Amino acid sequence: MVVLQQGTRKIVVVYESKKKYWFLPKGRKDVGESLEEAALREAYEESGYRVDFLPLHTDSRAPLPPGTLTRDLNTEPIYITTHAYPARTRHNRVAPPGEYLTFWYVGHIPADATREQGTGMPDEVNYEAHLLTLDEAVARLDSVEATVVQYAWDTAQRTIKITRQERAEAERLERQRLRAGSRIPCPFFFVPLKFVCLYLTTPTEFWKPACITNLGFLVANL
């Protein structure tokens, strides 16, 4: 999982202090566990941070839900990588060769997030989580995970840009709506006449001619 701390523009990267290598939090899904549950659990166990999914605007050809016309923010995986492994002996048994499929999600932690200690499994006691800049993360990770991090970062930046554009457009439409609502409909119209005679009626007078000479004047729209 790619875990971003947007408030500091940092990325969570884990270091194995004994074997001396860097990696992103990830792991195998337990039986009965969803991919999303596994991603959040592994991120917490290996980094010590409680992570939430980060909604993003992603490039995807996945079908939209019924009735949906536009693609909104989502928390789908942004990337899938594969890793083949050879046959090997485990517990006095020969395991056949296979291939790992890794579904990469993007999560985030707040700027004041606190790392918890002792969250990993017994074989993960040497894991150390670090907050690195994009350049630092790309330099320390292997080429595959560096590519995933760069793609996640670019997707997050594009999402920020799209969100700002959408907010600006919404604000523009709201200002337009308020301006339109502030215009009080005028019950008069302008008539360009030189000479007009109006007959006005009042409670005390029957009909009274009123003559107005002008290039134009307001006539009550009764």
- The answer as to whether 67 is a domain residue is no
Sequence-ordered list of residues with C-beta below 8 angstroms from that of 153, at least 6 positions apart, any chain: 2, 4, 11, 134
Closest by alpha carbon to 71, among 191, 171, 162, 190?
162
Q: Are residues 110 and 46 in the same domain?
A: yes
Residues 197, 156: one domain? Answer: no
pLDDT at 218: 37
Range of the domain at 207: 188-220
What integer pLDDT is reported at residue 139 of this predicted model?
98
CA triple 17-143-102, angle to 5 deg? 85
Global confidence as pTM: 0.76
Residue-averaged pLDDT of the chain: 84
pLDDT at residue 181, as a whole number: 79
Does residue 170 share a domain with residue 113? yes
Contact call for residues 2 and 46 (beta carbons, < 8 A): no
Residue 214: predicted pLDDT:
40
The predicted pLDDT at position 211 comes to 40
For residue 162, what are its two tokens? Answer: 């799209």
Instruction: Examine the domain organization and report whether 167 and 196 are in the same domain.
Output: no
Which CATH number does the domain housing residue 118 bear? 3.90.79.10
Query: In this structure, is residue 183 part of a structural domain?
Result: no
For range 58-69, the mean pLDDT: 78
Q: Which of 171, 154, 150, 167 is nearest to 56 (CA)?
A: 154
Residue 57 per-residue DSSP state: -
Q: 143 vs 67, which has greater pLDDT?
A: 143
The mean pLDDT of 131-142, rounded to a whole number, is: 98
6 belongs to a structural domain: yes
Residues 6+ apart with CB under 8 A from 38: 27, 28, 29, 30
Mean pLDDT of 66-92: 86
Q: What is the pLDDT of residues 167-210, one digit of tens each?
A: 999 999 999 999 987 765 555 444 444 444 443 444 444 334 44
Query: Are 163 and 210 within one domain?
Result: no
pLDDT attached to residue 187: 54
Number of domains in the chain: 2
Other C-beta atoms closer than 10 Å to the C-beta of 192 total 8
Inside any domain, residue 68 = no
109 and 51 fall within a common domain: yes
Q: pLDDT exceeding 90 applies to what percent of the chain?
A: 66
21 vs 214, residue with greater confidence: 21
Task: Give pLDDT, residue 111.
Answer: 96
Structure confidence by residue, pLDDT tens digits, 5-59: 999 999 999 999 999 999 999 999 999 999 999 999 999 999 999 999 999 999 8
Same domain, yes or no: 146 and 201:
no
CA distances from 22 to 14, 48, 73, 84, 123 (A): 6, 15, 30, 20, 16
Which H or E element spans position 85?
strand 79-85
Q: Which residue has the higher pLDDT, 145 or 69?
A: 145
Q: Which pLDDT value is given to residue 185?
A: 58
Measure the N-to-C terminal CA separation of the chain; round to a whole number of Å. Answer: 70
**Which tokens in the block code for residue 94?**
């020969």
